[in-house]
Amino acid sequence: MAENILEITDANFEEQVASSDQPVLVDFWAEWCGPCRMMNPTIEELASEYDGKVKVGKLDTDNNRETAVNFGISAIPTIILFNKGEVAKKLVGLSSKKDIKAAMDEVL
C-alpha cells in the first residue's frame, strides 16, 4: 500500500474515519477482486493529489466484515466519501478518477 494510504480496519474505523476532522475516502476492496485492483492506481493518484486535504484509506472487506456490513457493501469496489463521520457520497463499481475527484471537491 502506498505510504499516504491508510489501512482501515474494523478496529481503527472509529478513530481514522468516524472521528476524523478531514474528509475521508474509503475504498472497500478485496484481494481477489479484479476491478478493485484496477482502481488501485487511481486511488494512489488521488491520495497524492489530495494529501493534507482528504485522508484516503482502503478497507479489505474480507478481513473487516463488520464495517463492510454496517455500510451495506454488497458489491466491490465501493468507494465511500465520509465528511465529519457521515456518508457524503457512495460510488459503487469501477469509478472514473473524474467522478471521484468531483465527489472529493464537493466536500472540500
The residues that are catalytic are 33, 36
Q: Spell 81-99 as b/e; 16+ CB within 10 A means b.
A: bbbeeeebbebeeebeeee
Neighbours of 73 (CB within 10 A): 21
What residue type is assigned to position 35 of the chain? Answer: P
Distance CA(43)–CA(23), nearest Å, equals 15
Our CA dihedral for 70, 74, 80, 86, rounded to 10 degrees, sits at -30
